[in-house]
C-alpha cells in the first residue's frame, strides 16, 4: 500500500482532515472520505461538470484536482450553497422553473451558475449558455436550466 498523505481543507467553512493516496482526486476525497456526496462524478475527465466545486473562489472540476493540491485550500460544495434554511435564489429558481429532471447534473450546474453570477450579475442568454457549456445535462435540453439561471440573476439584481 502506497504511503498516504494527510490533508487539511476548509469545506463549506468547516475544517476537515483526510488521508488520501497520491492518485486520489479532490472528488474522491469529498465523496469517499468526507461523504459529501452532493458533488457527483459523471466522467472523471473534466468533460461533464457534475463534480464542479469552488476552490479558493475559483470554479474547478474536482475530478481534475488532486486531493493533495487541495491541502490548505478552501472548498465550497453544493452542501454549503443554502444558508441555513434559506435556499440560494438559484436553488429556488431551479425548483420553481423545473430546471432539473433526474437531478444528477444539478449540483454542478448550481455551483457553476453561482460562479457565473458572481462575476457577471446580468448575463445574456448566450453568455449563460457559453459559461455553462462545461456542464452536461442529458434530461432537460438546457431550456429550463438557462431560464432558471437568468431568472435568478434578475431576482438577485433586484430587477
Nearer to ligand FES, 60 or 150 (CB): 60
Residue recorded with cell 483526510: 18
Locate 127 and state its grid cell.
453568455
Binding at 19: pick from ligand FES, other proteins, none (beta carbon under 5-8 Å per type): none
Which one of 40-48, 78-86, 88-96, 117-125 is the stretch in contact with ligand FES (CB under 6 A)?
40-48
Main-chain dihedrals φ then ψ at residue 47, nearest 5 degrees:
-110, -5
Sign (positive or negative) of CA dihedral 25, 104, 84, 54: positive
Contact of residue 115 among ligand FES, other proteins, none (CB under 5-8 Å per partner type): none
Name which of residues 102 to 121 contact ligand FES (CB under 6 A).
102-105
Cell 457577471 found at: 120
- Burial degree of 35 (CB within 10 A; 0-12, 13-18, 19+): exposed
* Nearest distance in Å: CB 156, other proteins: 16
2 binds, among ligand FES, other proteins, none (CB under 5 to 8 A by kind): other proteins
Amino acid at each position: 500500500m502506497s504511503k498516504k498523505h494527510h490533508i487539511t481543507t476548509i469545506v463549506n467553512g468547516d475544517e476537515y482532515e483526510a488521508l488520501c493516496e497520491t492518485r486520489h482526486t479532490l472528488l474522491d476525497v469529498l465523496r469517499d472520505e468526507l461523504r459529501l456526496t452532493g458533488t457527483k462524478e459523471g466522467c472523471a475527465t473534466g468533460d461533464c461538470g457534475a463534480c464542479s466545486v469552488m476552490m479558493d473562489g475559483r470554479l474547478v472540476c474536482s475530478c481534475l484536482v488532486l486531493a493533495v493540491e487541495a491541502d490548505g485550500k478552501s472548498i465550497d460544495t453544493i452542501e454549503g450553497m443554502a444558508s441555513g434554511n434559506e435556499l440560494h435564489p438559484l436553488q429556488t429558481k431551479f425548483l420553481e422553473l423545473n430546471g432539473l429532471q433526474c437531478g444528477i447534473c444539478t449540483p454542478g450546474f448550481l455551483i457553476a451558475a453561482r460562479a457565473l453570477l458572481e462575476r457577471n450579475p446580468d448575463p445574456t442568454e448566450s453568455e449563460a449558455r457559453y459559461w455553462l457549456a462545461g456542464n452536461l445535462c442529458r434530461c432537460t435540453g438546457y431550456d429550463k436550466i438557462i431560464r432558471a439561471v437568468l431568472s435568478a440573476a434578475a431576482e438577485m439584481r433586484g430587477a
